[in-house]
Structure 1
């Protein structure tokens, strides 16, 4: 009886969400088309907004929402079949798919766990040192696992959970002893790790794509790393320490963690042949990503070379690839949303929109205008249940507007791009890693939101002063 009531309530909320998304799209559709926009561009924008709200409200899985949206564009004649499905041939989408498959290899061989346990065994004598060692492990892994959700859920969270359990810190028993601190420290530093390199987070690859299409800015793996390195290093060092002060664990020393890590490494034994081989493949891949400007190979081609080597050596079987549901699910809904955004760009929607906004912001200096745009950009995150959904819906628009009001293109690309990783723990539903770590039950929602806002403000200070100074030195503005 209780299950039937829950199901009825769920269905009611589902169809209310559908109604909200559809009605919003219909309203925009029938608004008189502003003079500068074409009819097709305006109607595609209506579908784009309805889809974004569908992602936000999630009445159905994202793939279902995407399927309906693409079908609507073809039924109404706005897009032809090749245009509607062009996103699935995007090199960015295939790089994201490769990221998930790389993660499968790292998890399957146990190499990710070995890296984290090694750092714990060496540096885990106190809760603060343990936090730094785990964060460093995540940072190292992020260089060759371009999916922060995959490395959080498949590698790092299980390790953090086991450490807390060994220390006697459970969600329902002394969570503040060490578990809650490690959870918050690692998830917030994962934001920094996600912003350090172009391939550390799937969203970064979309930022690179939009930067090329909208701002004609072509970022390489090395250029992204160079621009992010100094402020990211400062933020990476500051995060565990600041959380240690504002959200301290009651357990300061952690000898149990080092012992547990040493035991885990002992149980794992020596590095297997597969781990050594995978380490070599990852090294080749990282070198390939770092030298794309010299070789002329795209990051996607480099990733596919690495993936091919993993299959040729047997690290990944074809069954591993076909059963990686997350990769193919993301490819479908992200590829579909990319098609909508890219076709809007081709119809000059974003450029025209930027001209309208720039006209309204006429007379405001670009630094003030950028500050306003960043504030609004971050604030809209509260309405989205996915960082990627927010990025796809909002980043192209805000980037176009920023450039339209005179913000130097490189500065606009990077400042808004870095925001897309810094806001990922603002709420417990803002990103995959946030959902994974919050789901452990160590931190209450109110505390999560408070710490999310406080750490975001800390990062604004660091990236605002250190980041903008560093970017000035590099000549971005």
Structure 2
């Protein structure tokens, strides 16, 4: 009788646990036992975030418990991530996203741009891009933005006679690709556009002494961002040309949906005022002294006081609480390993062969390795947690100006989301619409990755040298 094969779940857990067990017990040069143990748990956690044998919150909660149970860190230290301002900034941003969705302000924004810009297939692509752009400052998740914009684009495609299958090239494939690629592109524009951006800012400050404030982030990304948003819909239009050129039906459809929504409600107006004041507070933070998290929590308090968001609705926001649960321990582990010098030991060995290179060439190699390493990740935050500290530390040691290294890796941490159909949370949202085959998704993703690298590594440093590196 043949031996039973291991189930996929058993194989996934084996992939996760075996490297961790080896690291936990095997000596690693220059690492103390507690450093090695924390590294082992961290590596297994990152692998679990990629392989997904269980929900992210479950995996990270188990990891935090193991850290305390094995005595790797005291319990108070294992729980310290929950006191981080970065964690609460991200939590607050998810509540803003909830308010945008519940009040239907997000739908109104998307339909508005389609009604005004949707006369042709290309202009419809720019309408999708504009929707992602406007939502990005206060929706800190490409998945959440995809949840707003993707269903609208799918409905528009169906109205225009484009369904998955034989008619997908009519316009549905183009709308799917432009919605996806401008969604993650929007993540790079603001500190609050993606859940991992505040984590990047913390690493940059702790490791390289570079401060990435909300205003500096917006200033650093505005020029290359404008170029990208101008070019990407047009490039996608030429890579996957839609068969349908005139799309007046889409405008009529969007106008009908706006009529159904009616005039701005009291809640939407109140939300707009609060969001404006929050963004104003982030911009002026260097002058009034209140940090980004304080401003965000003030905005959340205003949402609750004005009943735009009710307490029971806040408690029911599973996504926000889930992020709080898994992000805090992950941040704690990365923080602790950075403070203990674990990352320094690792990148000294891993990148030693680049020593002596002129720093521009060393930075180019590090940037390409960091960018295309995302083929192996299913989460932007997982890659940021695992690789950003090591690559930033290596760049600084190799003589790269710290600010240039921090900004380069920061933007690449978002732009690499376009490579695959599993690269980030919004990728499955768009891919499962079945308008685009996997081979097309990957080939288009690679071409767009080269375009993004050319824009952001070409124009980006020139612009940064003018406004933030001096």
Tell me, in whole angstroms, the C-alpha distance in 2 between the residues paired with 1:149 and 1:340.
25
Aligned counterpart for 1:354 among listed residues 337, 347, 354: 347
Shift of 1:369: 1.3
Q: Decide which moves more: 350-359 or 453-462.
A: 350-359
Q: Decide which moves more: 38-47 or 417-426.
A: 38-47
Tell me, in whole angstroms, the C-alpha distance in 1 between the residues paired with 2:53 and 2:383.
16
2:27 is matched with 32
CA contact (8 A) 1:217 1:410 kept: yes
Shift of 1:413: 0.8
1:138 is matched with 132
Aligned counterpart for 2:440 among listed residues 437, 447, 450: 447
**For residues 222-279 of structure 1, what are the alpha-carbon distances to aligned partners after superposition, in whole Å with 9 as ceiling and x for unaligned?**
1111111111111110000011111111111100000001111111111111111111
* SS at structure 2 position matched to 1:440: coil
2:334 is matched with 341
2:203 is matched with 210
Q: Decide which moves more: 139-148 or 304-313.
A: 139-148
2:102 is matched with 108
Tell me, in whole angstroms, the C-alpha distance in 2 between the residues paired with 1:14 and 1:339.
28
2:42 is matched with 48
Shift of 1:315: 1.0
Tell me, in whole angstroms, the C-alpha distance in 2 between the residues paired with 1:279 and 1:119.
17
**For residues 123-167 of structure 1, what are the alpha-carbon distances to aligned partners after superposition, in whole Å with 9 as ceiling and x for unaligned?**
1100111111221121011122222211211x1112111111111
* SS at structure 2 position matched to 1:196: coil
Q: What does 1:205-354 align with in structure 2 at a 5 Å threshold?
A: 205-354=198-347
Aligned counterpart for 1:193 among listed residues 161, 176, 186: 186
1:60 is matched with 54
CA contact (8 A) 2:220 2:468 kept: no
Shift of 1:475: 5.7
Q: Which runs of 5+ in 1 are unaligned?
A: 1-7
Q: Which runs of 5+ in 2 are unaligned?
A: none
CA contact (8 A) 1:358 1:404 kept: no
Indicate whether 1:96 and 2:79 are aligned. no
Tell me, in whole angstroms, the C-alpha distance in 1 between the residues paired with 2:410 and 2:273.
31
Aligned counterpart for 1:75 among listed residues 69, 88, 100: 69
Q: Decide which moves more: 257-266 or 434-443.
A: 434-443
Task: Give TM-score scaled by structure 1 length.
Answer: 0.95
Shift of 1:476: 2.4
CA contact (8 A) 1:117 1:261 kept: yes
**For residues 418-469 of structure 1, what are the alpha-carbon distances to aligned partners after superposition, in whole Å with 9 as ceiling and x for unaligned?**
0111011211111011121112111111111111111000011111211122
CA contact (8 A) 1:344 1:350 kept: yes
Indicate whether 1:150 and 2:178 are aligned. no
Q: Decide which moves more: 416-425 or 349-358.
A: 349-358
Tell me, in whole angstroms, the C-alpha distance in 2 between the residues paired with 1:68 and 1:274.
40
1:161 is matched with 154
2:388 is matched with 395
CA contact (8 A) 2:372 2:416 kept: no
Indicate whether 1:179 and 2:172 are aligned. yes
Aligned counterpart for 1:420 among listed residues 413, 418, 424: 413
> Which stretches of structure 1, 4 residues or longer, exceed 4 Å deviation after superposition?
none
CA contact (8 A) 1:169 1:176 kept: yes
CA contact (8 A) 2:109 2:131 kept: yes
* SS at structure 1 position matched to 2:369: helix
CA contact (8 A) 1:353 1:401 kept: no
CA contact (8 A) 1:14 1:60 kept: no
CA contact (8 A) 1:176 1:250 kept: yes
Indicate whether 1:18 and 2:13 are aligned. yes
CA contact (8 A) 1:169 1:179 kept: yes
Shift of 1:357: 4.1
CA contact (8 A) 2:180 2:430 kept: yes
Task: Give TM-score scaled by structure 2 length.
Answer: 0.96
Tell me, in whole angstroms, the C-alpha distance in 1 between the residues paired with 2:142 and 2:420.
16
2:427 is matched with 434
Tell me, in whole angstroms, the C-alpha distance in 2 between the residues paired with 1:288 and 1:346.
31
* SS at structure 2 position matched to 1:176: helix
CA contact (8 A) 2:95 2:320 kept: yes
CA contact (8 A) 1:354 1:404 kept: no
Once superposed, what is the RMSD of the aligned Cα atoms?
1.6
**For residues 84-131 of structure 1, what are the alpha-carbon distances to aligned partners after superposition, in whole Å with 9 as ceiling and x for unaligned?**
111112111111111211111111111111111111111110011111
